[in-house]
């Protein structure tokens, strides 16, 4: 191994590593976004009593007994067909748009969506000393702050798209987008503060790292193994609702609401540029769900009061860090996918709110609730540490 | 009329949080998720055709395999979108027992791109010669292909087992004394 990389100067090593990580993000997020779009179609279909896409199949795959048929019925190949279509379809560029910004907008949307992925820890393994080491691409200590800061840049892509499209529906959509995102950003941030106040108890190293939050939820004992969903249900609820609004999912998808805005900010977009918006949207969803799981659902710990380290002990996997790592990633992914399923499930359950209702919920209900919640936990934490 | 004032019940706190409602809704949609599918997988599974269904109109023959249409053109006149076009003609010379019918369609075309499946042609036909079939799936690559000619119409319609034999009775009555049957 060392023969290969040791004679490369460290600066170049770093660069190579960064490039590799970048590719890793792209190679993971694009398929996940695609799979989410497929899941979206399948879940929608099942909830509506339909079969959903189940026809497309690669010819030679049809000969694989059982598995081929199963994947076909699951619509896996429709996903490839969709991707291929979006890639090779004619890319329309309407005459009335501001061309440069029009083309820039999807890219602007993609960058924050991909950047946030790098700071999300997605698994952990135990090193020789039995210490839990989180797996993440960029281990920055500002964790949650980085995610909030970068993820909200995604709104610029919508504003840019709406403005550059130079027609009224996209414009209205992007105006709504900015208003809605600003309104819910506040509650979102306020709702996670109690969690970090709790984690950063006086006398410990201050951190905003998400991995630390998960670590906190994997301590022994009744309080230690408690996931934050049990400790702070109201925070979790506010975070969840705000997350729906931030990711523009129903019942808050005022931005795309096809009934009154045709397609919202991406009305004028087609083929690959349009699909980039969707990749961005789905990766926001994935990151949002991941953060929610990390904060409130114990990250890669299999069950409440059952941390990964204990499970590793039971399965005698201490000497297999790779297996433990894979296991933790699988546990984490299952939780994230369950969250994504929840997003889709809610989509077909709750009808879209009216715009004034969205604003009212955001400012008059969620924000006071978030502030009250923060105050409550301030007092509780203060009381705990005072006595 | 007495005016009854209805007072809307104020929402309870639980109702105003909207959460029990969302939970109940989630439960409902989850039940839908597990229910058997409502849709058919079309080309393999076909829907059951109810009686009285109005599919593609076609010409039918009587149980002896003889043409029933007498080219009266009533259907052509009644057809709202003017989908039917009939070229009237004489009964072919090779059917001597039907010469007393006098007329038969030389050509009979229904343009399925115009037809609206209203069933008026079937309603109006005095000879019960045109019926809307159960078939509902008509496809073609060109406009010309979508026009059903007489041959195709008889192929679609086949024979119909109702034994009226109106013209046979008419002939018998005529030969028996000229009276109507
Ligand atoms: S069904 Fe109606 S539209 Fe079609 S041919 Fe008969 S009369 Fe015309
Ligand atoms: S199908 Fe019936 S209505 Fe039409 S021309 Fe023939 S006999 Fe007359």
Q: Is residue B107 part of a domain?
A: yes
Assess whether pLDDT exceeds 60 at residue B156: yes
Helix (H, G, I), strand (E, B) or coil at A95: coil
Q: What are phi and psi of A125, to 5 degrees?
A: -135, 165
Q: Which pLDDT does position A1 carry in this prediction?
A: 42
Task: Give the integer Cα–Cα distance in Å for A166 and A179.
Answer: 19
CATH number at residue B99: 3.30.70.3270
Q: Which pLDDT does position A7 carry in this prediction?
A: 66
Q: Is residue A263 part of a domain?
A: yes
pLDDT in tens, A77-87: 888 888 888 88
Residues A152, A243 contacting (CB under 8 angstroms) = no
Between A62-76, A344-358, B60-74, B145-159, the lowest mean confidence (pLDDT) is in: A62-76
Rounded to the nearest angstrom, the gap between the alpha carbon of residue A360 and the centroid of all alpha carbons in its chain is 25
In percent, the amount of chain B with pLDDT more than 70 equals 98
- For ligand 1, the distance from its centroid to the CA atom of residue A166, given in whole angstroms, is 48
Model confidence at B120, pLDDT cuts 50, 70, 90, reads: very high
Q: Is residue B12 part of a domain?
A: no
Residue A258 sits at the vertex; the CA angle it makes with B27 and A185, to the nearest 5 degrees, is: 70
Model confidence at B84, pLDDT cuts 50, 70, 90, reads: very high
Mean pLDDT, range B104-126, rounded to an integer: 93
The residues facing A134 across adjacent strands are A124
CA-nearest residue, atom 4 of ligand 1: B115
Contacts of A345 in chain B (CB under 8 A): 26, 29-30, 33
Q: Probe ligand 2: pick from B57, B58, B70, B107, max atoms within 8 Å of CB? A: B70
pLDDT in tens, A133-150: 777 777 777 778 888 888
Q: Which pLDDT does position B110 carry in this prediction?
A: 93
Residue with the bigger pLDDT between A96 and B146: it is: B146
pLDDT in tens, A317-365: 777 777 777 788 888 888 888 888 898 888 888 888 888 888 888 888 8
> How many structural domains compose chain B?
1
In percent, the amount of chain B with pLDDT more than 90 equals 38
Task: Give the integer Cα–Cα distance in Å for A218 and A236.
Answer: 18
In percent, the amount of chain A with pLDDT more than 70 equals 95
Model confidence at B78, pLDDT cuts 50, 70, 90, reads: very high
Distances (CA, A) of B68 to B61, B64, B88, B101: 6, 10, 14, 10
The tokens describing A260, both together, are 């009154």
- For ligand 2, the distance from its centroid to the CA atom of residue B127, given in whole angstroms, is 7
Residue A56 sits at the vertex; the CA angle it makes with A55 and A59, to the nearest 5 degrees, is: 120
DSSP secondary structure string for all residues of B56-82: -EEE-B-TTS-B------HHHHH-TT-
> How many structural domains compose chain A?
1
Assess whether pLDDT exceeds 80 at residue A246: yes
The residues facing A303 across adjacent strands are A306
CB contact under 8 A, A49 and B32: yes
Residue with the bigger pLDDT between B52 and A13: it is: B52
Assess whether pLDDT exceeds 80 at residue A43: yes
Residue of B nearest to A369 (CA): B17
Residue with the bigger pLDDT between A15 and A380: it is: A380
Q: Which pLDDT does position B116 carry in this prediction?
A: 93
pLDDT in tens, A189-220: 888 888 888 887 766 777 777 777 777 777 77
Using a CB–CB cutoff of 8 Å, tell me whether B25 touches chain A: yes
Specify the pairing of strand B130-132 against strand B57-59.
antiparallel
Q: Is residue A310 part of a domain?
A: yes
Range of the domain at B79: 57-160
Range of the domain at A202: 97-386
Model confidence at B180, pLDDT cuts 50, 70, 90, reads: low
Instruction: Please indicate whether residue B22, judged by its CB atom, sits closer than 6 Å to ligand 1.
Output: no
Q: Is residue A38 part of a domain?
A: no
Least Cα distance to A170 among A261, A257, A270 occurs for A261
Q: Is residue A89 part of a domain?
A: no
Q: Is residue B114 part of a domain?
A: yes
Q: Is residue A288 part of a domain?
A: yes
Specify the pairing of strand B103-111 against strand B147-148.
antiparallel
The tokens describing A31, both together, are 């398929």
Q: Is residue B169 part of a domain?
A: no
The distance in angstroms from the start CA to the end CA of chain A is 55
Q: Which pLDDT does position B108 carry in this prediction?
A: 93
Assess whether pLDDT exceeds 60 at residue A5: no
The tokens describing B157, both together, are 């319609």
Most confident of the ranges A145-154, A216-225, B5-14 = B5-14
The tokens describing A71, both together, are 């994947």
Q: Is residue A156 part of a domain?
A: yes
CA-nearest residue, atom 3 of ligand 2: B125
- For ligand 1, the distance from its centroid to the CA atom of residue B163, given in whole angstroms, is 25
The complex's ipTM?
0.77
Instruction: Please indicate whether residue B69, judged by its CB atom, sits closer than 6 Å to ligand 1.
Output: no
Assess whether pLDDT exceeds 90 at residue B52: no
Which residue, chain included where needed, has tokens 């590719």? Answer: A23
The tokens describing A132, both together, are 């839990």
Residue with the bigger pLDDT between A376 and A260: it is: A376
Q: Is the peptide bond before A251 cis (omega within 30 degrees of 0)?
A: yes
Report the run of H or E that residue B131 belongs to, with start and end.
Answer: strand B130-132
DSSP state, residue A221? S
Q: Which pLDDT does position A6 carry in this prediction?
A: 60
The distance in angstroms from the start CA to the end CA of chain B is 65
CA-nearest residue, atom 2 of ligand 1: B118
Distances (CA, A) of B176 to A1, A72, B33, B165, B172: 112, 72, 72, 16, 6
Q: Is residue B103 part of a domain?
A: yes
Contacts of B41 in chain A (CB under 8 A): 51, 54
């Amino acid at each position: 191994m060392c023969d290969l990389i040791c004679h490369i100067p460290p600066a170049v090593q770093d660069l190579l590593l960064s490039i590799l990580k970048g590719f890793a993000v792209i190679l993971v997020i694009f398929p996940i976004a695609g799979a989410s779009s497929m899941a979206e179609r399948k879940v929608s279909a099942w909830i509506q009593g339909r079969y959903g896409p189940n026809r497309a199949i690669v010819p030679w795959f049809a000969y694989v007994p059982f598995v081929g048929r199963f994947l076909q019925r699951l619509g896996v190949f429709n996903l490839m067909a969709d991707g291929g279509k979006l890639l090779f379809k004619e890319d329309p560029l309407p005459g009335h748009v501001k061309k440069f910004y029009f083309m820039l907008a999807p890219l602007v949307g993609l960058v924050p969506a991909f950047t946030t992925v790098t700071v999300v820890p997605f698994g952990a393994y135990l090193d020789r000393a039995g210490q839990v080491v989180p797996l993440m691409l960029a281990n920055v200590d500002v964790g949650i702050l980085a995610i909030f800061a970068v993820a909200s840049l995604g709104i610029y892509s919508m504003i840019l798209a709406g403005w550059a499209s130079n027609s009224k529906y996209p414009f209205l959509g992007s105006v709504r987008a900015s208003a809605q995102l600003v309104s819910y950003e506040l509650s979102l941030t306020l709702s996670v503060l109690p969690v970090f106040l709790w984690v950063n108890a006086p006398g410990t190293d201050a951190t905003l790292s998400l991995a630390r939050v998960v670590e906190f939820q994997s301590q022994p004992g009744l309080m230690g193994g408690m996931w934050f969903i049990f400790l702070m249900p109201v925070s979790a609820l506010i975070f969840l609702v705000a997350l729906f609004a931030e990711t523009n999912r129903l019942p808050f998808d005022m931005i795309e609401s096809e009934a009154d805005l045709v397609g919202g900010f991406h009305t004028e977009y087609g083929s690959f540029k349009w699909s980039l918006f969707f990749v961005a949207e789905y990766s926001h969803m994935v990151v949002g769900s991941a953060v929610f799981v990390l904060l409130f659902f114990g990250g890669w710990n299999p069950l409440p009061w059952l941390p990964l380290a204990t499970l590793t002990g039971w399965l005698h996997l201490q000497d297999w860090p790779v297996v433990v790592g894979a296991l933790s990633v699988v546990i984490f992914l299952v939780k994230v996918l369950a969250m994504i399923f929840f997003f889709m499930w809610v989509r077909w359950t709750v009808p879209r709110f009216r715009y004034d209702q969205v604003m009212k919920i955001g400012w008059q209900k969620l924000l006071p609730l978030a502030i009250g919640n923060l105050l409550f936990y301030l007092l509780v934490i203060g009381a705990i540490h005072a006595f | 009329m007495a005016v009854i004032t209805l007072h809307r019940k104020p929402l309870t706190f639980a109702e105003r949080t909207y959460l029990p409602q969302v939970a109940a809704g989630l439960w409902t949609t989850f039940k839908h998720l597990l229910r058997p599918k409502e849709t058919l997988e079309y080309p393999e599974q076909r829907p059951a055709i109810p009686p009285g269904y109005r599919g593609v109109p076609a010409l039918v023959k009587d149980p002896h395999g003889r043409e029933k249409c007498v080219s009266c053109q009533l259907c052509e006149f009644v057809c709202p979108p003017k989908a039917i076009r009939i070229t009237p003609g004489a009964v072919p010379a090779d059917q001597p027992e039907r010469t007393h019918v006098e007329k038969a369609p030389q050509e009979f075309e229904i343009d399925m791109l115009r037809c609206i499946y209203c069933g008026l042609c079937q309603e109006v036909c005095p000879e019960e010669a045109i019926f809307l079939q159960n078939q509902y799936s008509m496809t073609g690559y060109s406009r010309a292909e979508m026009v059903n000619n007489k041959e195709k119409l008889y192929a679609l319609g086949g024979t119909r087992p109702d034994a009226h034999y109106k013209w046979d009775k008419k002939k018998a009555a005529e030969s028996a004394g000229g009276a109507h049957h």
